[in-house]
Amino acid sequence: MSKKKVKKLINGKGIRYDGRKLNELRPIKLEVGVLDNADGSAYIEQGKNKILAAVYGPKEVHPKHLAMPDRSLLRCRYHMAPFSVEERKSPAPSRREKELSKVIREAFEPSVFTEYYPRTSIDIVIEVLQADGGTRCAGITAASLALADAGIPMRDLVSACAAGKVEGHLVLDVADLEDKQGEADVPVAYMPNLNAITLLQMDGMLTSEEFEQAINLAVEGCKQIYQLQKEALKAKYVEVKEAKKEDAEQ
């Protein structure tokens, strides 16, 4: 069943088609430690996006000739499941997935202390189970939690969010319809404690003033997501602490 084309994405009162204000994030659910067979893992629901992230490592590099003597090799695989979109996609990695794997890896390079683990690899796997716009940003948010869950030392968590232009308005956390019918999309990944942007892309047309406003809007969104990330990590370790306490009492 195809999605209905929404003619008006923003009404006269500045409310978007899904009921959000211009500067409002979609509802976000974060969970840490969801996979037993990964060193670290996390799950995110952002709007209708459903994404799993897993981290493996640090471990021995295969093939061995890729090993670096002074730091760990950071690798990323971003993949959309064939059933994640309306029309079934091929399970083979697309050009877009290869590009996003590269930019997500680059978004984490300033954050991870790769020099602590020479001649090893740290693998990040992001699997999109259901896509609804902004999957690269939601994937980065989840992967950052998975890295923390794996105990990988980081300078800061990386939070990611996109701003965009829809029907002449700058909006936060662009959803699928807004992305397809809007004028521009600006994904940003950010380390709040260091006030450092690790990923910045733009698709579409914006004036230099609009571009600056879009970045600031996306950064504000990242800061909100950062608080949710910290809460999700705390919830995981409170749970672990309570489980250990129960074991000790028994």
Whether the per-residue pLDDT at 2 is higher than 50: the answer is no
10 assigned to some structural domain: no
**Please, is 54 exposed, middle or buried when counting C-beta atoms within 10 Å of its C-beta (0-12, 13-18, 19+)?**
buried
23 assigned to some structural domain: no
Which CA distances in Å does 14 have to 85, 170, 200, 208?
28, 11, 26, 23
- As a whole number of Å, the CA-based R_g of the chain is 19
90 assigned to some structural domain: yes
How many structural domains comprise the chain? 1
Give 79-130 pLDDT, tens digit per residue.
999 999 999 999 998 999 999 999 999 999 999 999 999 999 999 999 999 9
Whether the per-residue pLDDT at 144 is higher than 90: the answer is yes
Pairing verdict, β 73-80 and 120-130: parallel
157 versus 246: which is more confidently predicted? 157
State the amino acid at position 90 in one-letter form: S
> pTM for this structure?
0.92
Whether the per-residue pLDDT at 28 is higher than 60: the answer is yes
Residue 52 in contact with residue 248, Cβ under 8 Å?
A: no
243 versus 38: which is more confidently predicted? 38
Residue 162 in contact with residue 114, Cβ under 8 Å?
A: no
| Secondary structure percentages of the chain, helix, strand, coil, to 5 | 35, 30, 35
pLDDT given for residue 131 in this prediction: 96
Whether the per-residue pLDDT at 136 is higher than 70: the answer is yes
72 assigned to some structural domain: yes
Q: How confident is the model at residue 1 (pLDDT cuts 50, 70, 90)?
A: very low
CA distance 47 to 200: 22
Q: How confident is the model at residue 241 (pLDDT cuts 50, 70, 90)?
A: confident
110 assigned to some structural domain: yes
Give 64-82 pLDDT, tens digit per residue.
999 999 999 999 999 999 9
112 assigned to some structural domain: yes
**Domain residue limits at 44:** 28-244
Mean pLDDT rounded to a whole number for the chain: 93
Averaged pLDDT, 123-140:
97
124 assigned to some structural domain: yes
CA distance 182 to 169: 9
CATH assignment of the domain containing 224:
3.30.230.70
8 assigned to some structural domain: no
CA distance 139 to 51: 6
